[in-house]
Chains A and B, each alone.
Chain A
Amino acid sequence: RLKTSSGTNLVPCVKLCWKILELRGRCPVRFDMSDNKVTVHFVNRDGEKITAKGSPGDSLLDLVINEDLDFDGFGACEGTLACSTCHLVFSEEVYEKLGPVTDEEMDMLDLAYGLTDTSRLGCQVCLTRALEGMEARVPESVADIRQTQDSSS
């Protein structure tokens, strides 16, 4: 990700430079960054839909971090299979395409609040072209605040 210290995105600038070099015949490599992306639709805890694009091979956690998506507490252990905070829920159809789950992932997934049969940890799911347009729901990480244990009794 290319940014200046003030946050200006340099990627369009780089693309333009490559295009100019191509047109001038000085760049032998055709550098096309536009069609190598996979679109993912995230559904946040409050129902808000957020669309983001990632590269094949990126994990869903990478995508959340790279695109600065604002999911509270997501990815606490930074993708090292030491927590369950990147828990995501998928439709059956999408879940089938996500590939096998290791014991290590299952062990941490087992600790996730609101575990379902189509849950995965985002840090272990990598994007492929076949997942274009997939939806991933960010589940509640704790019981609804009104049901949070009242320790007064």
Chain B
Amino acid sequence: MWGPSCWSFSDVRVITRSASSAAHQKVCVVGGGPAGFYTAQHLLKACQDVQVDIYERLPVPFGLVRFGVAPDHPEVKNVISTFTQTAHHARCCYYGNVNVGTDVSVEELREAYHAVVLSYGAEGNRSMGVPGEDLEGVYPAKDFVGWYNGLPSNRELNPGLDCETAVILGQGNVALDVARILLSPIDELKKTDITQRSLDALAQSQVRRVLIVGRRGPLQIAGTIKELREMVNLPDTKPEMVASEFEGMAEALKVIPRPRKRLTELMLKTAVDPPAEKERQRRQAASRSWGLRFLRSPLEVLAGPDGARVAGIRLAVNRLEGTGDGSVAVPTGEVETMDCGLVITSIGYKSLPIDPAVPFDPRKAIVPNSLGRVQQAAGLYCSGWLKTGPVGVIATTMNNSFDTAHSVVEDLTSGCLDATSAKPGSTGIGPLLDKRGVKPVSFSDWEKINQEERRRGAAQGKPREKLLDVEEMLKTART
């Protein structure tokens, strides 16, 4: 029991490191977010002879788990422990601070690896495509979320919060997250990993009313019940709904599946039912309000007297054609104007092409693929939002990534990837990066950044205070 099975930690490291460089099948994953890590996890488990290298543009890993999940949803981030385990796997290596597309090309990766999996997600925004979209005070939700979550490229967003009413276009979970962060009591937010800068800005915020506007009706909202319930229960806020927008819902409830039914019931209860006495008093005392508005599409963002800053939004009034998920919003010709000083567009993220050598469908904004295999590109795969479009929670991405990994494993074992011929893997890419002056950040370097963030956070009673600047991350990594 206490014999040869008890290696010392450093012995084990040495032995498994040499085992990993002996792993014959080399796979590279581009993108260190949930898709990348789940794909790697599945590959490592399914193949005992595979080495998986994860390349990530930022020094820090975890993608939207770090920069997308709301600060007041820390449990969702528990998946990080699984990702950390994967990164520590003997046959896995993380290379942060490597920009695929500029520091190294996809072609170069395909030469060095048997298989390349693209999982770099969706860093662009869908735009409304209406006049006034470029006015001050109009922000894509992705940028607003990136701002309060410490994404370096959104550090200087400085959204103007000195107006009373904010309008959010879109009714998915991102829209609900933004509404909740705009209206949450500061005392709640200050215990989270929200950035100090945005916390200070929100503490000064004048925003008291948030309207969440959708093109279609209550039965089509893309948000889910947990997030809606959080709005209903948000301290010091009251719902401000238009009861007539919910006419006919009670009938529709009878024939829909349970998830949609419970969500609609909650909306109806909040919008239509007279509240119990305690709730009535709570609403009366509330200093902030939120509401859902339906059947409205943006036509134009209107400027105030200075001509530069948003003061309102003109909306087309729609009617629905068809029912359920497939129903379509059709303009009626009527228009309406809402006064507001802040507009946040939450109508979808969008993937961007990072390398001309990779097939890309500009209409759907995805890499065309079948079961994760990129079309007309043997040895090239995709997983996560780049594969299916920017929809779904972490579990969706997990399953999607497992499927792609399954395709890679099938191809590695069936012989169609010529996995028997030796490929250099990272020993081929390392010298290229070196020559180009690119210094990758290792996972243990990330752990130094992690430790520093947690140290700074502890001083403020927060789980972490994120570093906002890539240079600072690199400096910390090199200590």
Contact = CB atoms under 8 A, between A and B. Distances in A.
Interface of A: 4-8, 72-73, 76-78, 80-85, 103-104, 106-108, 110-111, 113, 115, 141-142, 145, 148-152
B19 to A, nearest CB: 17
Interface string B342-373: 00000000000000000001001010111100
Interface of B: 1-2, 5-7, 38, 42, 73, 75-76, 78-79, 81-82, 224-226, 229, 258-259, 262-263, 361, 364, 366, 368-371, 375, 387-389, 393-395, 398-400, 402-403, 406
Given A4-B2, A142-B403, A152-B375, A110 B78 contact: no
B78 A148 contact: no
Contact of A145 (B7, B82, B406): B406
Given A83-B395, A150-B370, A8 B5 contact: yes
A110 B225 contact: yes
A107 B225 contact: yes
Given A77-B76, A110-B225, A111-B393, A142 B399 contact: yes
Contacts of A8: 1, 5
A84 B395 contact: yes
Contact of A76 (B78, B229, B375, B400): B78
A103 B399 contact: no
Contacts of B388: 149, 151
A23 B366 CA distance: 70
A76 to B, nearest CB: 5
A145 B371 contact: yes
Given A76-B82, A77-B75, A151-B369, A145 B259 contact: no
17 contacts: A6-B6, A76-B398, A78-B78, A81-B75, A82-B73, A82-B75, A82-B78, A85-B395, A107-B229, A110-B258, A110-B262, A111-B393, A142-B402, A142-B403, A151-B361, A151-B370, A152-B368
| A-B CB proximity, top 8 nearest | A80-B75, A6-B5, A110-B259, A82-B75, A142-B399, A78-B78, A107-B226, A82-B76
Given A6-B5, A72-B42, A76-B78, A152 B398 contact: no
A108 to B, nearest CB: 7
A76 B259 contact: no
A80 to B, nearest CB: 3
Contact of B76 (A83, A107, A148): A83
B402 A151 contact: no
A133 B371 CA distance: 39
A8 B6 CA distance: 10
Nearest to A141: B399
B402 A152 contact: no
Contacts of A111: 224, 259, 393, 395
Given A73-B402, A107-B224, A115-B259, 5 more contacts: A5-B6, A77-B75, A149-B388, A151-B370, A151-B388
Contacts of B361: 151
A153 B2 CA distance: 60
A141 B393 CA distance: 13
Contacts of B75: 77-78, 80-82
Nearest to B229: A107
B259 A152 contact: no
Contacts of B7: 6
Interface centre among A4, A145, A150 (most CB of B within 10 A): A145
Contacts of B38: 73
Contacts of A108: 226
A123 to B, nearest CB: 11
